[in-house]
Amino acid sequence: FPWSLSSFYWQAFLAGLLNTLLVAVIGIFFATILGFTLGIARLSSNWLISRFATVYVETIRNIPLLLQLFFWYFAVLKAMPAVRESFALPLDIFINQRGLMVPRPLIDQEFTWVIVAFVVAVIAAVAIARWAMTVRTQTGAYPRPIIMAARVANAAVTFAMSLLAFSLLAALVPNMGSAFTLALVAAAVLTALTFTPFAVYARPIIAFVLTAVILSFLLGGMFAGVPALVITIASIAAALVLAWTLLDGADARATEGKFPIALPLLVAFGVPALVYWVTGASLQFELPVLNRFNFAGGVQLPPELVALVFGLSIYTAAFIAENVRGGIRAVSKGQTEAAQSLGIKEA
């Protein structure tokens, strides 16, 4: 939110207040996701994941926040190249000394209904989850309609994610005929796998393919001078670690006492997708284009905003991770299992 030296005091105060709220909202979102993930990772039985999370938490939270902000602003962002030599990231994102240039979303009037449908669907998903938890607390089991719907939702989510993963994989392989057909067959096979005793392998396979493809895409755009073979090997190695971690904890998560998370996910994202298709809504993006001296189009995020969001998110995530780990550790061994046997919901 801009302001100038000719602005009134209340305009400068309002701009500062709005900028603070903007940084806080964005930082809370990323810090919560990163902190919760790291907190769970510290308790992982995977040695590599657990040690990485431990080193991150113990290092980041013992470095002063101001020093970290100086690092991100002066050592990272101010060290970026000039505008005409900007780093081109995937998805038409550019970064240089003037900040981060990202595409600007352009929506039509019909897309408003998609947003409304998403809000209503999220509320409905939460209501369904709370109702199912209440019934399980009273009876010791989830309602049968929830169980049946959860199986269908799990298959639908598995099919959608596997189709996305293998479609992206086929797009990276040159001269691959019938790519969509092969992706469709692979998605159907993994979906059928969810109804067999080998269902625990479906998620790790999808995570492996999706992670390998996304990392290859991102690293290929960020490090254009690095040989493709090195990027491919690094992406596959990271994807293998993630798949191994998911498979390592698959048996522990595949219990009857856990709420079927696929059902609220399908409700929260399936309903807006259906509304998007029915209403014919349009979602386009205005891409940033390099002119003679600066970028035109898109959204330009100033380096001060990017440094604050990065620094605050990474710093706060370390404390959130410790809170998550401490909260889980505070539960005595055996109490979780005893509570599940009594039908008490997880919290």
Residue 292, domain member (yes or no): no
Whole-number Å distance between alpha carbons of 124 and 139: 22
Query: How many domains does the chain divide into?
Result: 2
Q: Categorize the per-residue pLDDT at 250 as very low, low, confident or very high, splitting at 50, 70 and 90.
A: low
Residue 142 and residue 98 share a domain? no
Q: Residue 140 — left, alpha, or beta (φ > 0 → left; ψ -120 to 50 → alpha)?
A: left
pLDDT at position 253 is 45
State which of 252, 279, 306 marks the end of a domain. Answer: 279
Whole-number Å distance between alpha carbons of 38 and 90: 25
pLDDT at position 189 is 87
Residue 212 and residue 171 share a domain? yes
Residue 97 and residue 56 share a domain? yes
**177 vs 29 pLDDT, higher one:** 29
Containing structural domain, residue 180 = 109-279
Structure tokens, 149: 């719907």
Residue 58 and residue 202 share a domain? no
- In the chain, DSSP assigns E strands to 87-89, 93-96, 99-102, 104-107, 283-286, 289-290, 295-296, 299-301
**316 vs 141 pLDDT, higher one:** 316
Mean model confidence pLDDT for the chain: 83
Residue 338, domain member (yes or no): yes
Judge whether residue 58 has pLDDT over 60.
yes
Residue 265 and residue 118 share a domain? yes
DSSP state of 45: S
Residue 243 and residue 133 share a domain? yes
Residue 138 and residue 96 share a domain? no
pLDDT, tens only, 253-274: 444 456 677 788 888 888 999 9
pLDDT at position 252 is 44
Residue 13, domain member (yes or no): yes
Residue 332, domain member (yes or no): yes
Residue 287, domain member (yes or no): no
